[in-house]
Amino acid sequence: MTFRPTTTTYQPGARTLDGHYYTSQAALADERARLFPNSWLCVGREADIPAGGDYVVANVAGESLIIVRDRADTIRAFHNVCRHRGTRICTATNGQFGETIQCPYHAWTYRLDGRLTGAPHMAEADGFDMADYPLHQAPLGRWDGFLFVNLGARPGDFERFIAPLHERFARYNLATLRSVRRIDYEVAANWKLILQNYSECLHCPTIHPELSTKLPFTSGANDLTEGAFLGGYMEIKAPNESATMTGRSCGLPLGTLSAEDRTRAYYYTLFPAMMLSVHMDYAVYYTVDPVAPDKSRVRCEWMVNPDSPSAPNYNIADAEEFWDRTNRQDWAICEQSQLGVSSRVYAPGPYSPRESIPAAWDREYLRAMAK
């Protein structure tokens, strides 16, 4: 895909959000009721459930979901709720089913496609038909190895939703990448501050000394500047080869890449709560989960070419340390931002042209909440 940078996103007069969006329990309750259940949310990778019967349990918009791959390689998302008396079926975060899923309370049993196949003593109940009681299923979408679910009553078509990204990273073979490290962070800041911070690098010279020597904040351009997907690329400064502590490449290229791609790193937000970083030799993705108005949980996962771990110069720890350090710098400044927007004197401030992407993210947020 040809990269077409644009500079049309900046809107003069754009200002940050009002303080209550970051501090109010009512605002978070509104997001949990209207935004998150009606959004396509990333729940992990297909590689998390590689074989038939494998499952993971994901917490999505206040709901517990069982994400399971059946023996025919179909992946489905079921609410973790038995149709008998509402008992939570799975308590483990992951595992493998045999041919069925069984509730531990009264042994109601379901096939991996969700159909009820066993309900002890219910044959004695008048009018009972097992076909009327499958597991509740949530729409699930698959893109480049990522899994998304939507809990809305009218979720819309996933392919239409993901269309702006459909072939954008085809050359990086994201679907085949191997996950090699995962870190969960607890951040004392509102989830929106984390997404907004990720969306600009004006802060990089003062907050990220390691990053700024590899990726100058004035380099690069944006190509997705409005809507659910926002971002672009930054240039890796020579003689550095990659965004690592040493500046050296830490693994095999993710695909057959052009000379331009070998000197670029791509950074995008996927509204509302996912961030994706794609480099020549590794990729990182983040999911952000609001815990409280002033607290968030961030999951960060590193992925590499599946042949990289056996390559002679493989050193993913070089990239892990680079981003773990950068992440913690980001979380620390987001926590300071949280303290500031919680002040009675805080008022929305002006965005600069170099903050056009967080301003666009704010517009998308306000549009989504207005729906």
CA distance 280 to 241: 9
Question: What is the fold, at CATH topology level, of the domain defined by 20-38+159-370?
Answer: Naphthalene 1,2-dioxygenase Alpha Subunit; Chain A, domain 1 (3.90.380)
Looking at the chain, the whole-number percentage of residues with pLDDT higher than 90 is: 91
- The alpha-carbon radius of gyration of the chain (Å, integer) is 22
CA distance 321 to 328: 11
Compute φ and ψ for 264, nearest 5 degrees: -125, 155
Which amino acid belongs to residue 149? V
Q: Was domain 41-154 assigned CATH 1.20.1530.20?
A: no
pLDDT band at 288 (very low <50, low <70, confident <90, very high): very high
Q: What does pTM read for this prediction?
A: 0.93
Helix (H, G, I), strand (E, B) or coil at 5: coil
Which residues contact residue 313 at a Cβ distance below 8 angstroms, ignoring those fewer than 6 apart? 248, 249, 250, 251
- For the cut 80, the answer to whether the pLDDT of residue 5 exceeds it is no
What's the mean pLDDT in 291-314?
Answer: 97
Query: According to the model, what pLDDT value does residue 217 have?
Result: 86
Cβ-in-10-Å burial (0-12, 13-18, 19+) of 195 comes to: buried
Q: Which residue has the tokens 């998302």?
A: 77
Query: According to the model, what pLDDT value does residue 218 have?
Result: 87
CA distance 73 to 317: 33
Return the closest-CA partner of residue 43 out of 166, 201, 192, 158: 158
- For the cut 80, the answer to whether the pLDDT of residue 3 exceeds it is no
CA distance 347 to 115: 53
Query: According to the model, what pLDDT value does residue 6 have?
Result: 56
Looking at the chain, the whole-number percentage of residues with pLDDT higher than 70 is: 97
pLDDT band at 298 (very low <50, low <70, confident <90, very high): very high
Query: According to the model, what pLDDT value does residue 220 have?
Result: 81
pLDDT tens-digit readout, 6-33: 555 667 789 999 999 999 999 999 999 9
CB 218 within 8 A of CB 212: no
What's the mean pLDDT in 183-207?
Answer: 95
Q: Give the DSSP letter of residue 34.
A: I
CA distance 289 to 36: 10
What's the mean pLDDT in 307-336?
Answer: 97
CA distance 318 to 299: 19
Q: Can you give the residue ranges of every domain in the chain? A: 20-38+159-370, 41-154
